[in-house]
């Protein structure tokens, strides 16, 4: 395994982070435990979850992923060997069953954090993230910002003050954002800098060969301000494995089970995937190796979040850690991006 540190900290994290959002829906508790056992054995010390998981979010499975991680901690006694990340769901998640107010008020933050700590069977979370912005901004499938009627009032200082209180209590150690825009990243950094409040260490956003929108603004911010990207969906829900190009049926694949996740189903995504597969084959690589190595090589990426529904998938993904793409391959990738830019926004 390869390691780095969370930016502006001495926290050592693996360059592959175990994504767990399938635990409790597509994966049973036993399967989740098996994945965590394997990941730990292979040197992955970074696990990511969220209060809303498993995904797709449903009231019946709310918090199930955190519970499975918590039972693994209890069974193995390895909590202190894992850098644990979790998230509070923001108001734009539209999941009213979680609590009365889906906002980042002190009461909501306290309720969400304490509930996560209970499910996770731990007294601290290493990296606590805000899963969605409170304000209305761009969402999946939307390339850029569109002005919307929005009652949000800037409360970023108050949010950071509440999170600072959690840090001082020892409930969390570091903070991050998720599904945020360049403007949001800079506002959190600005408040931290001028009000002597905790600085965000990471931003968790989608990033893959089919979605490189992070490079437009956010990548420069992360580089210059020392914030690390935790790249999720690097395999585009399995599309970048190439399995959907064969014409075979994959009834247990996420895109088959949950057709509402359609962002990677476009004709442009299929065309780009075929072109990336050609590059991989030409260079003696699998499409999975090409896809994950591309993400891992970006200087602004701290860790790549790998989610798998089987141990075989997890093993294949972990084995890509030592793949390095040449400048020639990277140039070929950029040529496809220029022809079909970001087909899955």
Residues 253-269: tens digit of each pLDDT: 665 556 666 678 889 99
Report the pLDDT value the prediction gives residue 244, as an integer from 0 to 100. 82
Indicate whether 207 pLDDT > 60: yes
Domain ranges of the chain: 3-239+296-324
* Confidence bin at 144 (pLDDT 50/70/90): confident
Q: How open is the CA angle 309-311-313, to the nearest 5 degrees?
A: 65
pTM: 0.95
The CA-atom distances, in angstroms, between 255 and each of 208, 238, 252, 261, 320 are: 17, 8, 8, 6, 23
- Structure tokens belonging to residue 311: 């141990």
Task: Find all residues with CB under 8 Å of 259, minimum gap 6, and list them.
Answer: none
pLDDT higher than 80, residue 160: yes
- CATH for 3-239+296-324 is 3.20.20.100
Query: 233 near 227, Cβ under 8 Å?
Result: no
Active-site residue numbers?
53
**What does the buried/exposed string (b/e) look like for 80-116 if buried means 16 or more CB atoms within 10 Å of the residue's CB?**
eebbbbbbbbbbbbebeebbeebbbeeebbebbbebb
């Amino acid at each position: 395994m390869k390691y780095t540190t969370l930016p502006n900290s001495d926290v050592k994290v693996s360059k592959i982070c175990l994504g767990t959002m399938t635990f409790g829906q597509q994966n049973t508790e036993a399967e989740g435990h098996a994945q965590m056992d394997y990941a730990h054995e292979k040197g992955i010390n970074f696990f990511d979850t969220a209060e809303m998981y498993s995904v797709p979010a449903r009231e019946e499975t709310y918090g199930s992923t955190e519970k499975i991680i918590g039972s693994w901690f209890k069974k193995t006694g390895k909590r202190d060997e894992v850098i644990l990340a979790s998230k509070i769901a923001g108001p734009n998640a539209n999941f009213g069953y979680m609590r009365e107010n889906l906002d980042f008020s002190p009461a909501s933050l306290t309720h969400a954090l304490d509930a996560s700590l209970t499910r996770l069977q731990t007294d601290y979370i290493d990296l606590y993230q805000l899963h969605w912005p409170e304000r209305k901004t761009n969402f999946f499938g939307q390339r850029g910002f569109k002005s919307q009627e929005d009652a949000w009032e800037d409360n970023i200082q108050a949010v950071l003050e509440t999170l600072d209180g959690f840090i001082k209590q020892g409930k969390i150690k570091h903070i991050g954002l998720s599904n945020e825009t360049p403007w949001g990243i800079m506002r959190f950094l600005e408040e931290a800098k001028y009000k002597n409040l905790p600085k965000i260490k990471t931003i968790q956003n989608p990033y893959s060969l089919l979605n490189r929108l992070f490079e437009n603004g956010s990548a420069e911010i992360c580089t210059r301000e020392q914030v690390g990207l935790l790249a999720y969906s690097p395999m585009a829900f399995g599309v970048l494995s190439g399995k959907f190009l064969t014409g075979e049926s994959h009834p247990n694949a996420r895109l088959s089970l949950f057709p509402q996740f359609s962002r990677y189903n476009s004709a442009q995504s299929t065309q780009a995937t075929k072109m990336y597969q050609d590059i991989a084959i030409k260079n003696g690589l699998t499409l999975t190796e090409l896809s994950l190595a591309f993400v891992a090589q970006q200087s602004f990426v701290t860790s790549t979040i790998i989610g798998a529904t089987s141990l075989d998938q997890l093993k294949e993904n972990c084995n890509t850690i030592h793949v390095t793409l040449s400048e020639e391959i990277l140039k070929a990738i950029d040529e496809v991006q220029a022809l079909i830019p970001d087909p899955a926004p």
